[in-house]
Structure 1
């Protein structure tokens, strides 16, 4: 089941993960949540942060693969975007 959850997390877009993280932070700052719910929110926020960081890292790697060709046009070398290298 954990593997299935991880796969679902990988499918979430950067924008959706960032929005969810922002919502979680706002909820945690509200002082309305009991400790147990704060812990659950913290765990979920950590997951969303990890997803965002991973997607930003992948985007950065792809950008660094861009290089100028001899005629001055931008070209891109294929780069694996999945963490497993495929």
Structure 2
């Protein structure tokens, strides 16, 4: 991430990472929508609120292109992967 992006709220940093990852691996998602697993529960709220700013609106447009699904993974599973 760029230095300015490090100042974004945590949920926006995670969403930005997802947007970058989808763009980087675009060739793999041409036939089937990607499944993005996350334990960041606050991302659910991002998708249901009105567009708070142009940055989020732009990211939503990019995500709409891929039509990913976002199942929420339990925190304990992610925590065990980190050890």
Give the strand-richer structure, 1 or 2.
1
Which structure has more relative contact order (CA 8 Å, sep 6+)? It is 2
Q: TM-score, normalised by structure 1?
A: 0.27
Q: TM-score, normalised by structure 2?
A: 0.27
Give the helix-richer structure, 1 or 2.
1
